[in-house]
Amino acid sequence: MNRAKENEARALKGELEELNASNREKSQQGREIRDKIDMLKIDLAAFDTQQGQQLNKLERLGKDAAIAWKWVQENRDQFREEVYGPPLVTCSLKDPRYADAVEALLSRNDFLAFTAQNLDDMKTLSDQFSGTMGLTDITLRSTAGGLSAQRRLSAEDMQRLGLDGWAIDYIDGPEPVLSMLCNARKLDRSPVTLCEISEESYNEIVDGEKVTHFVTGSNFYQVSRRKEYGPGAVSTTTKNVTDAVNWTDQPVDISAKREVQERIDALEREFDELKAEIKPLRAALAEKKEQLPQLSEEIKRLTKEKADIQKVYSEQQSLPAKIAREEELLKRKQSGFAEIREEIHKINVQHDHAVIRRSKLALQYKEIVMKIRACHEAVLEARVMAIEAESDVAGLTERNADIVRQLQEEEHRLQEAQSQLDEFKAIAGKALEAVTAIQADPENEEHLESWKNLAPEITVDELKAQIIAETTRLEFVVASNPNAINEYRRRQADVDRLSRKVAETDERLEDVGSSIAEIRDQWEPQLDTLIAEISEAFSHNFEQIGCAGQVGVHKDDDFDLWQIQIKVKFRENEDLQILDSHRQSGGERSVSTIFFLMSLQSLAQAPFRVVDEINQGMDPRNERMVHERMVEIACKEHTSQYFLITPKLLTGLRYDKRMKVLCIASGAWMPENYKKLDVSKIIGIKRSLVAAG
């Protein structure tokens, strides 16, 4: 059901696209028709103005000249000096009576000629009209000087001969145009008159050698002289003067005006028909647009239902596996519970033993307390006895003064005995040295066991007391932990072994650190210098397009994690960000990539580089900026060669004399015999046409 709705939606979108395309096409046709109608209405209004009548005459006399004159008016900024249009529209007659006579001296090309005032403007006109626009019925002339005021006949001679004036004096227009007409048709040397002249005047003009063209009444005369055959070699060509058709004030061409109006009417009818076609088209478009949201909502609903069903189905499919996992977990928990119960049983047994030990200790404590109490009572009794004894002593002291004196004497004798004892100890020390020597003698080994624990300064009573104390302390240690001594010795051995291992490891670590520092000091400064050069070039490239960028090295404690980081900023209101696939668009990444490659241009030693469709995803502005930077960098001397491959060629790009553009002709439209498509021959034909004008 959902797939059917999606197919229906795709079909509806296809119909919408077709209707939109048709609507756009019809609308564009309507705009083009309306533009044509507006232009024709302007042409129709021009029939009622003198300038419009002259432009209409220009279009009828030479369509190419009319097109060229319109282009000149719209592009005057491309010329060094002013360029003048055909005399038909830039000039007029001061006296309409002389229209027949003046036009008799001019040809059709004279009326259609464009006048340039320098050779550069002349070349610009030729390249534009013949080369770019492909116009053929064009006449171009140039003039460098002004209009001369000198005439070959004086005013008195003109009046005497019956001549009214010179043809150029009856034309009103820009001086460069009048100068051009004089250079081309010698209008400043061609007299005219409305009346016929006498035979004498005619003969004087022909024999005078100052005039070669003149018009009298309804006759045009052209005098030809052959000086190499003598003064009598003169011939005269005569033809009738026809009515003027260009510089006249005759009524508007009604047929031309009617033709323009008929074209306007036809376009209006075509526009109405187009409106009639667009109306049902737009109605159908609106109807389809109303159907699309409903269909989209239906597809969303069906998609959600499908997702819910798939979720339930997936959960149902995963239940057996979940049940198996939970059962396995339950088994592990149950086996763990058995272990815990066993551990609890052991703890309970230990608790019972501890309770028994505690009871025994409590009984022992009771006995000890009773003993302490008895001892305390004995102490109290002893103190009482001591007090009584002291009292007795005080009384006896007085009574036993003799005894005290005797005691002092005995103490004196004791001191003397102590001195003797010190002497005896010295003697014993010497004896010990002798004993040591005896112990060193192998013959006395069987007697050593009985001597080795004796010390000369310890008495027998002191030795017995120390033996009793050490025995008691040893009993307490053994009672607390029978293996304590062995455990202590084992751990002490482990501590000594690990201490030696730590010392060795620290020593090796210090050696490795020294080696790393020595090697790192050799290459890290060079790396920092290289990255700094790349970053400087990279930043300069980004500054040229109004952005910012830099290149740096991420230095981690683990050398495997070192990496080059490229940071860019394409907008003013943001900071530099690391270049990745999340923060920048495809076009921005393309710009950053090509700028990074160009930053390596002077560092990486490679004979050439190939760049394929680097402008993919770029907007036209970035395409032009990147291309300009590539041309600027790649066309420098002593750099690698670039091959830039692209399926399209933008217009108006910057080029360099060190670059070459190759346009490859291929595809289904190529002739099977490739020799028929001779590009060099085509270029030669084009150059010939341009040169021919």
Inside any domain, residue 373: no
pLDDT at 260: 66
Question: How many percent of the chain have pLDDT more than 70?
Answer: 75
Listed in sequence order, the residues at least 6 apart from 71 whose beta carbon sits closer than 8 Å to its beta carbon are 128, 133
Q: What is the mean pLDDT of residues 465-488?
A: 61
219-225 and 234-240 as β-strands: parallel, antiparallel, unpaired? antiparallel
pLDDT of residue 339 exceeding 70, the answer is yes
pLDDT at 250: 47
Domain boundary among 251, 283, 298: 251
pLDDT at 291: 67
Inside any domain, residue 438: no
Question: How many percent of the chain have pLDDT more than 90?
Answer: 15
Q: How confident is the model at residue 247 (pLDDT cuts 50, 70, 90)?
A: confident
pLDDT of residue 124 exceeding 70, the answer is yes
- CA torsion through residues 636, 638, 639, 643, sign: positive
How is residue 514 written in tokens?
């020294």
pLDDT at 294: 67
Domain boundary among 251, 271, 292: 251
Better pLDDT: 101 or 49: 101
pLDDT at 355: 74
pLDDT at 552: 92
Inside any domain, residue 490: no
Angstrom distance (rounded) from CA 531 to CA 48: 76
pLDDT of residue 441 exceeding 70, the answer is no
Contact between 606 and 640 (Cβ < 8 Å): yes
What is 271-319 written as a DSSP string?
A: HHHHHHHHHHHHHHHHHHHHHHHHHHHHHHHHHHHHHHHHHHHHHHHHH
| Average pLDDT of every residue of the chain | 78
Please provide the size of the chain in residues: 693
Q: How confident is the model at residue 177 (pLDDT cuts 50, 70, 90)?
A: very high
Domain boundary among 251, 276, 299: 251
pLDDT of residue 253 exceeding 50, the answer is no
Q: How confident is the model at residue 2 (pLDDT cuts 50, 70, 90)?
A: low
pLDDT of residue 49 exceeding 60, the answer is no
Angstrom distance (rounded) from CA 247 to CA 86: 12
pLDDT of residue 255 exceeding 60, the answer is no
pLDDT at 102: 92
pLDDT at 448: 58
Among candidate residues 239, 235, 236, the one with its CA nearest the CA of residue 218 = 239
Number of domains in the chain: 2
Better pLDDT: 582 or 183: 183
pLDDT at 479: 53
pLDDT at 392: 61
Range of the domain at 662: 524-692
Inside any domain, residue 628: yes
pLDDT of residue 470 exceeding 70, the answer is no
Inside any domain, residue 135: yes
CATH at 634: 3.40.50.300
pLDDT at 511: 82
Angstrom distance (rounded) from CA 181 to CA 169: 12
Q: How confident is the model at residue 254 (pLDDT cuts 50, 70, 90)?
A: very low
Name the pTM for this structure. 0.35
pLDDT at 176: 92
pLDDT of residue 110 exceeding 60, the answer is yes
pLDDT at 568: 92
Inside any domain, residue 180: yes
Q: How confident is the model at residue 458 (pLDDT cuts 50, 70, 90)?
A: low
Better pLDDT: 530 or 623: 530
Inside any domain, residue 333: no
Q: What is the pLDDT of residues 191-239, one digit of tens each?
A: 999 999 888 888 888 887 788 889 998 899 988 877 766 666 778 888 9
Q: What is the pLDDT of residues 619-672, one digit of tens each?
A: 777 777 778 877 887 787 777 787 888 767 677 788 888 888 888 877 787 887
Alpha-carbon radius of gyration of the chain: 63
pLDDT of residue 108 exceeding 60, the answer is yes
Inside any domain, residue 107: yes
Q: What is the mean pLDDT of residues 675-692?
A: 82
CA distances from 11 to 7, 8, 116, 193, 519 (A): 6, 5, 63, 83, 69
